[in-house]
Structure 1
Amino acid sequence: MRVVSLVPSLTEAVAVTLPGVLAGATDWCSHPVDLDVTRVGGTKNPKTDRIIGLAPDLVIANEEENRAPDLDALRAAGVEVLVTEVRDVPQAFRELDRVLTACGARSRPRWLDEAEAAWADQPVPERRRTAVVPVWRRPWMVLGRDTFAGDVLARLGVDHAYAHHADRYPRVPLDELVAARPDLVVLPDEPYRFTAEDGPEAFPGLTCALVSGRHLTWYGPSLAEAPRVLGAALRAAAR
């Protein structure tokens, strides 16, 4: 089996579970850190000719991270493409099962069982907090409706202010974000790399939580430690 992954989360999941199966991955696939495969461009602009040249048995993609025209071009060249949809934590586990089985896994990996148990054991939060969750700057974009990251935060007791917005990643003026007066401003280090020097200064008087984007937005082996890592960051910010 030869697989090309166009999704960083799925790249890590396949590489950890099925060593040697991946033939290619995007430039953004940073885990495992020692991953040695052919790089095929970005998630939004993959080099389809390079992917086709790798002669993969399967390309794994995601309906949010990858563009339909690129996937259609691969299918037109005779490449099988599996497209995932991940909008919440339970769906992430189902899709990971589906992807790993399609890539040749004969049994469920231990890390996936551990990840599912970690979320099943997550206690009901004693109190809930509100948040705005920027994912980009210039222009400001935040989590909106039906997002995996939004569901992750909700399970940790954090309800983001734009959960019912018509868009999944709405552009919202900074003054409106500040005027919302949330309990927290959650600033991940990806896709935009917010840091202590780049992000919190835009929200004077508000509590900011700098969090790991991989633990907030990736659905792979990092799911097993995400409740602990994110929970600790959110608690530390609230002190």
Structure 2
Amino acid sequence: MKKILAILILISAACNAGEPAPKRIVSLAPSITRSIYQLEAGASLAGVTIYCPAQAKDKEKIGTLLEPNIEKIVALRPDLVIATKEGNRPETVRRLNELGIPVYTMESFDNFEAICNGFIALGKRIGRQEQANAIVEQSRRRVEQVRKKSKAHRRSRVFWQVGAQPLFTVSHHSFVNDFIELAGGINIFADLKSRYPQVSREAVLHADPDVIILVAMGDVTENEAQKWKNFKPGRTGKIVTLNNTVFTDPAPASFAEGLEIISRILHE
């Protein structure tokens, strides 16, 4: 009986072990690369995109998020390519699959909890589940601290701008909405159907935000800030420009850091 029990335990462990941890990973997005380094798996990276973080400067470059070089990827002999559903083109994933290269695609994230679940799944897939669980646990604590503190403050109305010509913002379908809501703000366009809806300047003015946040728009950011200063929200409210990657990087620790920044903007 003991022998049978031991065999069953071994079989169960083998089944739960899942796929072996990859040793040659190609990342198709900067956010994926950052997550892999956070999971202490940077040594497994065989290739990254040209806009990946400084940690990966010595890694082989395989092109951009939207235009990866398939031939370069194949030449690197990866045992896993990691893509994003939102950032990478479906035809890229399809072509890699046709060539027999395993591809793990990360889903789009609607909120902080989805980010945590996706990060844990990534950690499990690359053999870093313990590290992923620890990072998520710590990040959840940080987020909860901000959420509790926000209850003591008045809720500011926020316009979050991510594009200039035309204007784009975020709805509750994007994880970015949680930066606003969990920090104690109100997203003035939360109810729109698209994840990143296009809006007019008139619609923004009609919604009368207390705070305007301009995020990751490069050279046009300062020009946009100057434009808003000519209108009521710019004269009576607060205009903030943010270029930190934590606001575009769907990972638990990055989200927690970004949320702390937004909380200070709204309440200090």
Q: TM bucket by the smaller chain?
A: 0.7 to 0.9
Percentage of identical aligned residues: 23
Match of 1:227 among 243, 251, 259: 259
State the match for 1:193 in structure 2: 218
Q: How large is the Cα RMSD of the aligned pairs?
A: 2.2
TM-score, structure 2 length as denominator? 0.78
Question: Deviation of residue 48 (structure 1)?
Answer: 2.1
1:88-237 to 2 correspondence within 5 Å? 88-105=111-128, 107-109=130-132, 110-124=134-148, 125=150, 126-188=153-215, 190=216, 192-193=217-218, 197-203=222-228, 204-206=231-233, 207-220=238-251, 221-236=253-268
TM-score, structure 1 length as denominator? 0.87
Question: Deviation of residue 96 (structure 1)?
Answer: 0.7
State the match for 2:8 in structure 1: none
Unmatched 5+ stretches in structure 2: 1-22
Cα distance in 2 for partners of 1:40, 1:130 equals 42
1:98 to 1:130, Cα distance in 2 relative to 1, 3 A: same
CA contact (8 A) 2:166 2:198 kept: yes
CA contact (8 A) 1:210 1:233 kept: no
CA contact (8 A) 2:169 2:197 kept: yes
CA contact (8 A) 2:110 2:172 kept: no
Question: Deviation of residue 78 (structure 1)?
Answer: 1.0
1:143 to 1:123, Cα distance in 2 relative to 1, 3 A: closer
Question: Deviation of residue 106 (structure 1)?
Answer: 5.1
- Give SS of 1:197's match: helix
1:106 to 1:140, Cα distance in 2 relative to 1, 3 A: closer
Cα distance in 2 for partners of 1:89, 1:167 equals 18
Highest Rg: 1 or 2? 2
State the match for 1:68 in structure 2: 90
* 2:35 partner letter: A
Unmatched 5+ stretches in structure 1: none
Alignment length, in residue pairs?
233
- Give SS of 1:121's match: helix
